[in-house]
Structure 1
């Protein structure tokens, strides 16, 4: 199964598959391969291809080794009295694993060729007529009871901002969403949550903090502080800027509170980032841009 398991970046989970065999009259290992494929797909693990496994057996004439017969899907008695248990697992595209047990001195090229051909036919039959008829593809969503892990990558230089002084920012995200967060030194971020919506909200906050701010970008922000000369607006988690009173509206503004108050949601445009990293915003320019978009 290992060749079809998604990468850690695609699916950052530890996977444990348990196969409990209640009765055996054939290859339990290859039955486990088929059962594992169904279990993983049903659980929402995005495996690359379905995998099936089947075994081929062999009986050789003791008096004339050139006389032999190969057969597929051996039962227990055939395994006990036969001369070979040739197990092959794989996808439609190729083989992922082989295990061979033999009781003869060796296998001829013809025996091996027949074993591969038999197991290929059996493997394709199982995939097309059993596995894919039961579940045609991995489920798009995992069970609502499964823990959710969301991963993303940020610029390592932004890790400090995501964590914040004394862990202030990351603790704020955790308190507001109830998630757990791990950040690796290379910028990989893992968010753990039993609530997918909370996980997505935490992801949005982290990506917002790590986002590169450039003049011209427009955001929906929240007024967090009002002064006589303007309003401070948080437009991304941990990122705020000043909307000067002259940039609050298209008309002249006498008093900031005539236009906005603390808690208001307003559209703002990034106008400038000065040498000290302070961000100047404009509601007036954001409104003009929105008006132009509606005209177009």
Structure 2
């Protein structure tokens, strides 16, 4: 902040003015910038105007003062920290489909309250699906993001998943391919007995049992949203070792 005291024929530019100099002086001229130049200015004057010489002198003195301050700053910290302080607030932004907002919030806000309780994060959701996670704990933000991504995850036809066998029937095995989190229902599909192996299978338990993790491929999602899976399709694409 540069100040000015002006007489009839002379003037004096003051650097880094204080309250009394601002109140009784003729100018308050604030400048901000870098080593390369000025980035912002703001001026208040109490006289009819200032001439070119006054402006030139003020700019030059401000440049000297600015560079001096920046040199002192560089002695303390030459560059910004590569990582945020563990106490600094972090904001993680996600974009979710608007039709999925209801799933993230849950009945009566039950699901989102569980995410907040589990992670300690603050979560805000806007009508267009913009979702903001605010916390000073990076791991908590990652955990909250994982929960949300799991809740809104969509099953993709043709994609291979590592799933867990949850139920076994005579006609096949039900495999959870997207786990449920915080009490929400996961997404599971049926591997028909004919799709369990390349060879004929007589009993489902001859191939898999409850709790087994198996690779399965999504082959179909019918009009009712039922997911059909195939283990056979994955086995066909597996490179088998050759014989000597």
**Normalized against structure 1, the TM-score is what?**
0.62
When residues 82 and 160 of structure 1 are mapped into structure 2, their CA distance, relative to the original with a 3 A threshold, is closer
Partner of 1:115: 58
Give the aligned CA root-mean-square deviation in angstroms. 3.7
* CA positional deviation for 1:136: 0.9
Residues 174-207 of structure 1: per-residue CA shift (max 9 Å, x gap): 5765655432211012335565334313312322
* CA positional deviation for 1:98: 3.8
Separation (CA, whole Å) in 2 of partners of 1:228 and 1:203: 38
When residues 118 and 159 of structure 1 are mapped into structure 2, their CA distance, relative to the original with a 3 A threshold, is same
* CA positional deviation for 1:153: 0.9
User: Is 1:70 the counterpart of 2:70 in the alignment?
Assistant: no
Greater C-alpha Rg = 2
Unmatched segments (≥5 aa) in structure 1: 1-54
Residues 75-122 of structure 1: per-residue CA shift (max 9 Å, x gap): 678667754332223456775654434454422233224323443454
When residues 180 and 88 of structure 1 are mapped into structure 2, their CA distance, relative to the original with a 3 A threshold, is closer
When residues 183 and 105 of structure 1 are mapped into structure 2, their CA distance, relative to the original with a 3 A threshold, is same
Partner of 1:201: 143
Partner of 1:269: 217
- Quick one: which of 278, 286, 296 aligns to 2:234? 286
When residues 173 and 132 of structure 1 are mapped into structure 2, their CA distance, relative to the original with a 3 A threshold, is same
User: Is 1:216 the counterpart of 2:162 in the alignment?
Assistant: no
Alignment of 1:13-24 (within 5 A): none
What stretches of structure 1 move > 6 A for 4+ residues in a row?
75-78
Separation (CA, whole Å) in 2 of partners of 1:102 and 1:151: 44
User: Is 1:162 the counterpart of 2:104 in the alignment?
Assistant: yes
User: Is 1:58 the counterpart of 2:4 in the alignment?
Assistant: yes
Separation (CA, whole Å) in 2 of partners of 1:166 and 1:133: 52
Separation (CA, whole Å) in 2 of partners of 1:196 and 1:265: 30
Unmatched segments (≥5 aa) in structure 2: 181-185
Corresponding residue pairs, total? 234
* CA positional deviation for 1:278: 1.7
Residues 138-184 of structure 1: per-residue CA shift (max 9 Å, x gap): 542341x4565433111112223334556565466557656554322
Separation (CA, whole Å) in 2 of partners of 1:172 and 1:81: 60
User: Is 1:150 the counterpart of 2:75 in the alignment?
Assistant: no
* Larger fraction in strand: 2
